[in-house]
């Protein structure tokens, strides 16, 4: 942990120097220190943005990996469930991060994957924090990236017409007298709760989207059943380390054992012990380190719909009516009241495991009483600095990605119904709501014990998403300029947010944001110009597929069988995202080693020439070759040809199909919203 502390101190030194009357000027301002924020910063730096400033509210960078302590690393998952496979290969910034984490694990523990869980890779919080510090340091040292920590936004600096974000004011969490103004060409809001989006007056949404809002198949019909406070719950995760003692933690304040006796998921303490072992020295005999477990289970998820009496009383004392707000609408100090109670509830679950559950176990070999909370966070209570946040504010974007777009066309194993023309990230997961309803157990006594239960239509059952994409339009505010959404504050519905929120997906979104920002800054345009300008979109795609200097290219099309290490990877992605490959919704395997038949080549050539401006005769590659070989050679011939401009039939309806751009998932493809690839 020593190197992480050193990096933090260097950044704190910068912060102390930055409190000056004159504003700091930067090209790109990134608010937040999440994994999405880091991916955006590194990508923008690699794409030659000269001045980037990241402002984090915590010391650690990495979000879910670190400060939120979700150390069993979630990633894209197909319809088969947890089987330690992924529906499309690891790629981009996430692949880089995982490779660094596994190399760090190998050096420290002797195993790249020292855990024993249902996911593939695990790590400890401080180890992940070290990896993120190592990743950003080359850009800090070069002067491209400045990192300021433990500051929060207080005001958005707007243009005279209030339509463009020009910077943000901040205040120190450690000294309210220390403030900082940062002026920026472009700002990314990758904060936990969309602070800049709110301060800027950009549109946003929260709570369940009703069916009449976006027509989603699984959306509720009424606020009577799904109140505006209904959200994917937060969870204060816990990381515990094996000891030689059988000593429980102190009983937390407000402990109500019935809350834990009567929880529903999961019931077996033995299953809890075995399912999320970050380090398992019993399984790996060469690991000389105590077992480390992650506790993150629905048994102590913390719903946000109706709050316990003690929390209600504290909120109402602060502001009448505050307890009825959605947490997104609460100021930071009110959210902290909720967080403190959520933290105590998590600690109560650990205390229950170490006392009552321990006493009831016949085989105490795997007793939780032998574990203590880790001390690596440096917090007085040994809890993570933040709760794990599954859902926050949703940016009202140029286009809101919705469930029916992202469902598999005919099958969850197929491509999604709408493969966006401006795709910059790929993903697949179930629409995954943890229990969102708080059920009080003593005849509705809100001061008594409670448990988290599922609300109808909001669970983790099918339907699942297909192999989906995420577009530039869903990163850009519908109206305000100078701003991009980041983190969980993206342009999607509540249902889509439940599936597009994992470690790898947030890093993919961050990488996309960094590329979009770099193009906007280099071309001196607003990001909203990019989705409908073929040349600008080309720049973004090229930036995302760069793989020099150790960078891993992103994925633009969710093929199951094309890996970043394949020589045809970049070409196949670039051709696919432009619609230059003949594909149907079930063609999820590119089959690079399959012979490139004359018919297949002809289809590729025809589609490609329809997308490019060709000024002279082109002689396609000839001779026997595989699809991968042909794609590689053909893309080399297509790469530098200028794209044909996107046509616009009407000012608000590019393809003239009667569906205005703001609600059209395929705005350059006239007709119905079903899957096709012209």
- What pLDDT score does 538 carry? 98
Q: Which residues contact 442 (CB under 8 A, 6 or more apart)?
A: 448, 449
Q: Give the whole-angstrom CA distance, residue 304 versus residue 232.
A: 8
Question: Does pLDDT of 409 surpass 50?
Answer: yes
Q: 374 in helix, strand or coil? A: coil
Q: Does 591 share its domain with 483?
A: no
pLDDT digits 0-9 by tens, 139-171: 999 999 999 999 999 999 999 999 999 999 999
Task: Compute the mean pLDDT over every residue in the chain, rounded to the nearest whole number.
Answer: 94
Q: With respect to residue 656, please indicate whether it lies within any of the assigned structural domains.
A: yes
Nearest to 515 by CA among 576, 425, 578: 425
Residue at token pair 């969309």: 194
Count of structural domains within the chain: 3
369 found inside a domain = no
Per-residue tokens: 27? 């090209």
Domain contains 272: no
Question: Which of 360-369, 416-425, 518-527 comes out lowest in average pLDDT?
Answer: 360-369
Please state the rounded mean pLDDT for residues 484-507. 98
Q: Which residues contact 600 (CB under 8 A, 6 or more apart)?
A: 582, 627
Q: Identify the pLDDT of residue 362.
A: 81
* Residue 183 and residue 89 share a domain: yes
Q: Are 156 and 196 in contact (CB under 8 A)?
A: yes
pLDDT of the residue at 271: 85
Tell me the β-bridge partners of 24: 182
Task: With beta carbons less than 8 A apart as the criterion, state whether 284 and 122 touch.
Answer: no
Q: What share of the chain is helix, strand, coil (3-state, %, to 5)?
A: 35, 15, 50
Long-range contacts for 308-314 (Cβ within 8 Å, ≥24 apart)?
A: 308/341, 308/438, 308/446, 308/447, 308/450, 309/446, 309/447, 310/254, 310/341, 310/447, 311/337, 311/338, 311/341, 312/446
Residue in 22, 330, 28, 18 with CA at minimum distance from that of residue 165: 28
Q: How far apart are CA 456 and CA 433, in angstroms?
A: 11
pLDDT (tens digit per residue) in 549-597: 778 999 999 999 999 999 999 999 999 999 999 999 999 999 999 999 9
pLDDT at 672: 58
User: Does 1 have pLDDT greater than 50?
Assistant: no
Distance CA 312, CA 324 (A): 9
Domain holding 56, by residue range, is 2-208+424-431+464-532
Q: Can you spell out the DSSP letters for 488-553?
A: T-SSB-HHHHHHS-SHHHHHHHHHHHHHHHHHHHHHT--GGGGGG-HHHHHHHHHHHT---TTPPP
Residues 673 and 614 in one domain: no
Task: Give me the CATH number covering residue 125.
Answer: 3.50.50.60
Pick the range with the lowest mean pLDDT from 250-264, 280-294, 358-372, 590-604: 358-372
pLDDT of residue 517: 98
**Whole-number Å distance between alpha carbons of 190 and 504:** 15
Q: Do residues 22 and 89 share a domain?
A: yes
CA 61 – CA 34 distance, rounded (Å): 6
Distances (CA, A) of 267 to 82, 238, 262, 274: 19, 18, 9, 13
Residue 159 covered by a domain: yes
Q: Looking at the DSSP assignment, which residues form a beta bridge with residue 168?
A: 156, 182
pLDDT at 498: 98
Q: Say whether both 100 and 66 belong to one domain.
A: yes
Alpha carbon separation from 231 to 130, 195, 448 (Å, rounded): 32, 18, 22
The token pair at 418 is 């709408």
Residues 121, 69 share a domain: yes
Residue 340 lies in a domain: no
Task: Enumerate helices (H) and strands (E) in the chain, giving the number of each.
Answer: 18, 18
Same domain membership, residue 80 and residue 141:
yes
Q: Which two tokens stand for residue 358?
A: 């321990």
Stretch 469-497: mean pLDDT, rounded?
98
User: What pLDDT, in 10s, does the model give residues 88-147?
Assistant: 999 999 999 999 999 999 999 999 999 999 899 999 999 999 999 999 999 999 999 999
Distance of alpha carbon 440 from alpha carbon 611, whole angstroms: 59
Tell me, yes or no, whether 9 lies in a domain. Answer: yes
Q: pLDDT digits over 176-192, tens only? A: 999 999 999 999 999 99
Q: What is the pLDDT of residue 9?
A: 43
Q: Say how far apart CA 397 and CA 483 lie, in whole Å.
A: 11
Question: Both 591 and 660 in a single domain?
Answer: no
Give pLDDT tens digits for 310-368. Answer: 999 999 999 999 999 999 999 999 999 999 999 999 999 999 999 999 988 887 878 99
The pLDDT value recorded for residue 675 is 56
pTM, full prediction:
0.95
Q: pLDDT, tens digit, for every residue of 422-468? A: 999 999 999 999 999 999 999 989 999 999 999 999 998 889 999 99
Say if 470 falls within a structural domain: yes
Distance CA 482, CA 444 (A): 47
CB 527 within 8 A of CB 399: no
User: Does residue 181 share a domain with residue 47?
Assistant: yes
Q: Which three-class secondary structure state does DSSP give residue 599?
A: helix
Q: How confident is the model at residue 14 (pLDDT cuts 50, 70, 90)?
A: very low
Residue with token string 């943000």:
168
Rounded to the nearest 5 degrees, what angle is found at the Cα of 613, between the Cα atoms of 611 and 615?
145
Residues 527 and 607 in one domain: no
Is 80 exceeded by the pLDDT of residue 18?
no
Count CA atoms closer than 13 A to 15's CA, side-chain side: 26
Question: Which residues are 427's β-sheet partners?
Answer: 468
Question: Residue 5: which pLDDT band, with cuts at 50, 70 and 90?
Answer: very low
Q: What is the mean pLDDT of residues 4-26?
A: 54
**Would you state the pLDDT for residue 674?**
57
pLDDT category, 266, cuts 50, 70, 90? confident
The answer, yes or no, to whether residue 257 has pLDDT greater than 90, is yes
Residues 471 and 598 occupy one common structural domain:
no
Res 3: pLDDT:
38
Q: Please tell me whether residues 112 and 162 are part of one structural domain.
A: yes
More confident residue, 267 or 628: 628
Rounded Cα gap, residues 84 and 66, in angstroms: 22
Q: How far is CA 593 from CA 318, 370, 574, 603, 614, in A?
A: 65, 53, 18, 18, 29
Per the domain annotation, does 137 fall within a domain? Answer: yes
Q: Is 150 left (phi over 0), alpha (psi -120 to 50) or beta?
A: left
């Amino acid at each position: 942990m020593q190197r992480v502390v050193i990096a933090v101190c260097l950044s704190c030194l910068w912060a102390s120097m930055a409190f000056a009357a004159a504003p700091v000027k930067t090209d790109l301002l990134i608010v937040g220190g999440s994994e999405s924020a880091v991916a955006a910063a590194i990508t923008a730096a690699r794409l030659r943005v000269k001045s980037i400033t990241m402002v984090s509210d915590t010391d650690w960078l990495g979000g879910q990996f670190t400060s939120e302590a979700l150390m069993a690393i979630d990633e894209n998952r197909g319809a088969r469930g947890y089987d330690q496979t992924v529906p499309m290969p690891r790629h981009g910034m996430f692949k880089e991060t995982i490779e660094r984490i596994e190399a760090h694990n190998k050096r420290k523990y002797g195993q790249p994957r020292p855990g024993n869980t249902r996911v593939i890779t695990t790590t400890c919080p401080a180890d992940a924090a070290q990896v993120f510090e190592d990743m950003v340091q080359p850009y800090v040292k070069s002067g491209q990236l400045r990192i300021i920590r433990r500051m929060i936004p207080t005001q958005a600096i707007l243009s005279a017409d209030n339509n463009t974000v020009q910077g943000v004011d901040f205040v120190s969490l450690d000294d309210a007298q220390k403030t900082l103004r940062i002026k920026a060409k472009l700002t990314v809001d990758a904060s936990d709760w969309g602070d800049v989006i709110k301060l800027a007056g950009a549109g946003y949404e929260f709570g369940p989207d009703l069916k009449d809002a976006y027509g989603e198949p699984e959306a509720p019909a009424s606020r009577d059943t799904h109140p505006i406070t209904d959200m994917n719950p937060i969870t204060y995760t816990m990381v515990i380390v094996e000891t030689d003692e059988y000593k429980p933690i102190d009983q937390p304040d407000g402990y109500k054992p019935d809350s834990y006796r009567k929880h529903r998921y999961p019931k077996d303490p033995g299953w809890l012990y075995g399912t999320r072992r970050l380090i398992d020295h019993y399984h790996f005999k060469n690991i000389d380190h105590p077992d480390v477990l992650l506790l993150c289970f629905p048994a102590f998820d913390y719903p946000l719909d109706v709050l316990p009496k003690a929390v209600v009383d504290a909120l109402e004392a602060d502001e009448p009516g505050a307890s009825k707000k959605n947490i997104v609408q609460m100021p930071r100090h009110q959210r902290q009241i909720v967080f403190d109670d959520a933290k105590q509830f998590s600690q109560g679950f650990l205390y229950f495991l170490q006392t009552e559950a321990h006493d009831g176990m016949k085989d105490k070999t795997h007793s939780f009483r032998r574990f203590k909370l880790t001390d690596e966070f440096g917090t007085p209570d040994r809890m993570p600095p933040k709760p794990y946040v599954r859902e926050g504010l949703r940016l009202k974007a140029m286009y809101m990605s919705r469930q029916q777009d992202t469902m598999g066309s005919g099958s969850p194993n197929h491509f999604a119904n709408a493969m966006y023309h401006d795709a910059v990230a790929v993903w697949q997961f179930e629409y995954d709501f943890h229990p969102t309803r708080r059920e009080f157990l003593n005849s509705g006594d809100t001061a008594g014990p409670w448990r988290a239960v599922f609300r109808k239509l909001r669970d983790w059952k099918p339907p699942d998403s297909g192999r989906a994409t995420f577009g530039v339009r869903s990163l850009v505010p519908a109206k305000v300029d100078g701003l991009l959404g980041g983190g969980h504050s993206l342009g999607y519905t509540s249902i889509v947010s439940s599936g597009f929120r994992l470690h790898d997906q947030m890093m993919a979104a961050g990488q996309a944001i960094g590329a979009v920002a770099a193009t906007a800054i280099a071309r001196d345009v607003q990001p909203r110009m990019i989705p409908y300008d073929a040349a600008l979109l080309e720049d973004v795609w090229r930036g995302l597929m760069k793989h020099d200097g150790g960078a891993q290219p992103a994925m633009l099309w969710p093929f199951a069988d094309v890996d970043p290490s394949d020589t045809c990877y970049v070409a196949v992605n670039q051709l696919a995202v432009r619609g230059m490959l003949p594909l149907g919704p079930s063609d999820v395997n590119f089959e690079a080693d399959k012979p490139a038949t004359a018919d297949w080549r002809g289809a590729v050539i025809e589609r490609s020439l329809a997308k490019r401006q060709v000024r002279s005769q082109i002689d396609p590659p000839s001779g026997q070759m595989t699809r991968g070989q042909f794609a590689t050679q053909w893309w080399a011939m297509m790469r530098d040809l200028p794209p044909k401009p996107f046509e616009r039939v009407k000012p608000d309806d590019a393809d003239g199909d009667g569906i205005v751009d703001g609600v059209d998932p395929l705005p350059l493809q006239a007709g119905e919203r079903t899957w096709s690839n012209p």
